[in-house]
Chains A and B, each alone.
Chain A
Amino acid sequence: MNFMASKQPENSLLGPEADSQRTLYPYVTGTSVVALKYKDGILMAADMGGSYGSTLRYKSVERIKPIGKHSLLGASGEISDFQEILRYLDELILYDNMWDDGNSLGPKEVHNYLTRVMYNRRNKFNPLWNSLVLGGVKNGQKYLGTVSMIGVNFEDNHVATGFGNHLARPILRQEWHENLSYEDGVRLLEKCMRVLLYRDRSAINKLQIAKITEEGTTISQPYSLKTYWEFSAFANPAQGAVGTW
């Protein structure tokens, strides 16, 4: 007696070849992006690592890119999906420029476009596996927003993706205030990036900080943070308890 009915495929609505076209898991990933509003505009920081699972495959991935005249986009998650998003945005900005009407897409508009793209992809069960941070200044108005891979979007005075949500946001919530100067903003971002460097295993000590103001965009050259490892308890941890580390 054969009680076993033939097994229906789980997603019988899609054919077998459709599976290979959907994003099921990310391969090359970037870790957190942290950004905040300051007096003159937006400051955004991200490290330059692209991890392939647990190996650090790429060490010069630029995860912050300028978009049009008024925005900066930072991404964490799958790097190939980020490159695809850059192509979509390239096309969007190109068409906007072709109108040649003196108007240009501001950060709020780009953020809305990205939200729609991410949400629609998620509805088709084929997400772009990224958490995006979109910041910019247009006509004196500062804007900082974020979109996740399932389409959750909001704007705030300071945002972070990935591990930054758990490690950087508590610091930002406590120490951010209106009208931070440029130096204070960079110091605050570096504080967050240093904690991430200590405690996120996929973070590397090579980061870029990007600034956008009414005048334009500047993305810094890659540099590294100073770290401190000289606590005396780290020197000989087993001193008090043999067999621990």
Chain B
Amino acid sequence: MSLRKQTPSDFLKQIIGRPVVVKLNSGVDYRGVLACLDGYMNIALEQTEEYVNGQLKNKYGDAFIRGNNGRPR
């Protein structure tokens, strides 16, 4: 991945299509392929797996995560 200066929106376009881990402030992790996201950090994932305390809990075909849930408490 390039380390040159880029705007946040460039970075966001770059990671679309990659497998990612989305960590929420509730402690739940969602692993899946990044389908798209927007400037509010709303996220759409495909082939999503939900991990609670490191344990696989659920699998979803498509998942939408609201952008406010990444804020640390």
Partners in one complex: no
Chain B residues within CB distance 8 Å of chain A: none
